[in-house]
Structure 1
Amino acid sequence: MTEMVERMNANRAQVASYVTASALGTGDTQPADCTGIAVGPNRDQCEWSNSLKGAGEQSAAATSTGGMQSARGCIAQIQAQNPALGSCLPGIYRVSVAWQGMHKTAAPAAGLACGQGSYGDEKYRRVIAATVTVGTTSCF
């Protein structure tokens, strides 16, 4: 999750392009090799997807083994940036990572939708989240 937060902070001019319509990671269609994708939000999403799938650690058979079980990542816009005079609102985004726990616990908070419905009983779903806030450069 921190990796994506850092990438978004480094590319604040295009931060809205990081918002995902569906979860990245387990079950997505991102390619295993992201080098054919231009540097920017789409490439960052591809590389994050592969990290979530465990590509950071490979078995002898080249199987990804370094990730959490069924990890998924989501980026949602909480508030659109608005530099208009009288508004001057920063852009606010939530970066979430969901995965399947081994045992039931309490279901995640209602506002954390990443991975919802993907793990059977919601009490198996685990979610962590971070907020990225992008201020306005000027308010007209």
Structure 2
Amino acid sequence: MVEPAPARGNAEMNSVSLRAGQYGFTLVEVLVTLLVLAIGLLGLAGMNARMLNSQFEAYQRAQAMMLVEDMASRIRSNPQAARNGDYDTDTVHGLNNQNCSGAYGVSIDLCEWNQALRGASVEASGQQLGSIMGARGCIDNVSIAATGQAVIRVTVAWQGLTPTVIPPLSCGANAYGADDRLRRAVSVDVVLAYLGV
């Protein structure tokens, strides 16, 4: 009588059938890994784009603060003209291209600030590129007290990249989109004390 050797044959057969059912399993693992990797890379690209927008917004704010401080220092250096209202011209600066030759005093201050708002410091192909997007500047006499103390507000407005809260300052209003949510603005109040007798 011949004894069958089922144990060994069945074990081999079982392992072969298990391997046959596992074909393609590694491919599925690779595809799932690629899908997870692709989603991660898309997230990374989105974060990079948001970071670039935030970086540009911060750059524009820093440039606007430099422009505001430039005019504030010009006003501080000529307090009598500021008290007389010579800087408050009811003009929105940064809109037109002015020639500053021959100007002096307050006129040169306003003309050079206008040129800085327009970006005249950097030019390429005849275009002024050295400023923030759509820069506008406003100078307002906020108050002149009986004591002779004057408060002059210097404001710079510009266009941002993403909508946000509408700034309470009126400079550049309705110039950057239908609802003004792209408008950004910074201001400095220059206080000129009266030191006379």
* TM interval, short-chain normalised: 0.7 to 0.9
Paired residues in the alignment total 127
Change (3 A) 1:81 1:41: farther
Q: CA deviation at 1:133?
A: 0.7
Moved over 2 A (4+): none
Deviation track 1:55-78 (CA, whole Å, cap 9, x = no partner) reads 11112x232101011100000011
What residue in structure 2 maps to residue 42 of structure 1? Answer: 107
Q: Distance in 2 between matches of 1:128 and 1:20?
A: 19
TM-score by length of 1: 0.84
Q: In angstroms, what is the RMSD of aligned CA positions?
A: 1.4
Q: Distance in 1 between matches of 2:191 and 2:129?
A: 32
TM-score by length of 2: 0.61
Q: CA deviation at 1:103?
A: 1.0
Higher relative contact order by CA 8 Å / sep ≥ 6: 1 or 2? 1
Which structure 2 segments of 5+ residues have no match?
1-67
What residue in structure 2 maps to residue 11 of structure 1? Answer: 78
Find 1:98's aligned residue among 157, 168, 180. Answer: 157
Q: Distance in 2 between matches of 1:11 and 1:49?
A: 18
What residue in structure 1 maps to residue 166 of structure 2? Answer: 107
5 Å matches for 1:1-140? 1-15=68-82, 16-25=85-94, 27-28=95-96, 30-31=97-98, 33-37=99-103, 39-59=104-124, 61-82=125-146, 88-109=147-168, 112-120=169-177, 121-138=179-196
Q: CA deviation at 1:138?
A: 3.4
Tell me which protein shows more strand as a share of its residues: 1
* Higher Rg: 2
Q: CA deviation at 1:81?
A: 4.2
Q: Distance in 1 between matches of 2:148 and 2:111?
A: 29
Q: CA deviation at 1:122?
A: 1.1
Deviation track 1:79-123 (CA, whole Å, cap 9, x = no partner) reads 0143xxxxx2510010000001111010002xx110011112211
Which structure 1 segments of 5+ residues have no match?
83-87
**Residue 76 of structure 2: SS of its match in structure 1?**
helix
Tell me which protein shows more helix as a share of its residues: 2
**Residue type of the alignment partner of 2:128:** S
Q: Distance in 1 between matches of 2:171 and 2:117?
A: 13
Q: Say whether the 8 Å CA contact 1:57–1:65 is kept in structure 2.
A: yes
